[in-house]
């Protein structure tokens, strides 16, 4: 009974964290990226946050971390094969989110949109 909502929470668990959707977006569209590339793609994220978010995604087997044993260090991140299965879900969330923003605009006007864009800043 309660399980049927705790599983929704499982899905949320791996998505929450202010930066995970953006990180996944970049990894899905760009394929393999180095740590520093991700930093450049997300100008406002700190190393600490980027590291922690990636580690959580790695724990969930969504993101793969490949370490090159060399100096200077080189680490590449990519979506795992299992992680690719999330694609449709992310797409569904994206689609719903898009139409919901439209719905909010119809209800309250476009002010909210401005706020949202200001809140992102990257």
Give the interface with a second copy as residue ranges (CB under 8 A). 2, 4-12, 14-16, 21-22, 24-25, 60-61, 82, 86, 88-90, 92-98, 100-101, 103-104, 107, 116-117, 120, 122
Residue 80 interacts with which of a second copy, DNA, none, CB < 5 to 8 Å by class: none
What's the min distance (Å) between Cβ of 79 and DNA? 16
Peptide bond into 72 cis (omega under 30): yes
**CA separation (Å) from 49 to 3, 44, 64, 114?**
30, 10, 17, 26
Strands 74-79 and 33-34: antiparallel
Contacts with DNA by CB under 7 A lie at: 16-19, 34-37, 44-49, 51, 54-55, 65, 72-75
């Amino acid at each position: 009974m309660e399980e049927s909502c705790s599983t929704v929470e499982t899905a949320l668990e791996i998505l929450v964290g202010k930066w995970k959707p953006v990180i996944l977006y970049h990894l899905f569209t760009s394929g393999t990226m180095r740590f520093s590339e991700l930093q450049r793609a997300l100008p406002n994220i700190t190393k600490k946050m980027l590291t922690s978010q990636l580690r959580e995604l790695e724990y969930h087997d969504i993101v793969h971390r490949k370490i090159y044993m060399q100096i200077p260090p080189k680490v590449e991140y990519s979506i795992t094969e299992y992680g690719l299965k999330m694609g449709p879900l992310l797409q569904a969330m994206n689609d719903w989110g898009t139409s919901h923003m439209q719905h909010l605009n119809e209800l309250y006007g476009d002010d909210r949109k401005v706020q949202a864009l200001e809140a992102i800043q990257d």
